[in-house]
Chain A
């Protein structure tokens, strides 16, 4: 079944650790996105990608990096986790042009101690 998958779903980690949040989609979509969202609050765009080898910065990009080596895979890396990174991270994807409805993954809840 076409869907968006995120792993891990929950992560507790200490300050200063490097972490990578995984996102993969079987939707056949070109465009992918990462959002940070505190529960029930505003969606903040971190990074997005138009396709393979394309990465663009969003509003909260300064403390993380992304890569897009394969169409279906869009991992997000925090080089040095801090308590301020505690939040939910949502991955999404859409077709490249036209009806750009975004479909969201289930999210990763991150707690940095």
Chain B
């Protein structure tokens, strides 16, 4: 089955700086990679996703990159704001679906 590792587990940045969260996966059959944001006390919500036939996708301040050969994908947040503070989860989906363990991002004003 699939195994997803996510790093770092916690990340603290100053407002305006960039944040990068990395995930690796094990199953070469995985072909869809969503990222979720979970604010305190709320449900996880999809913020961006990428498919295996694409290397990079961007949506305003958020971007995701995928390296299929190395089996890793990353979330990039630029010009971070305090409202970006949350727990972020990556996931890998193919024949199986697994979430990463989460990254707690804190953006200091």
Contacts and interface: CB of A to CB of B under 8 A. Distances in A.
B43 interface: yes
B43 A107 contact: yes
Contacts of A107: 43
Interface in B52-109: 87, 89, 91, 93, 97, 99, 101-102, 104
B32 A42 contact: no
Interface residues of B, number: 20
Chain A interface helix/strand/loop/mixed: loop
Contacts of A102: 34, 91, 97
Contact of B44 (A39, A90, A99): A90
Nearest to A104: B43
Contact of A101 (B41, B42, B49, B102): B49
Given A99-B32, A100-B32, A40 B44 contact: no
Interface of A: 39-43, 90, 99-107
Interface of B: 32, 34, 38, 40-46, 49, 87, 89, 91, 93, 97, 99, 101-102, 104
Can you list the 6 inter-chain pairs with the closest CB atoms, starting with the nearest? A104-B43, A42-B101, A43-B99, A40-B87, A100-B93, A104-B44
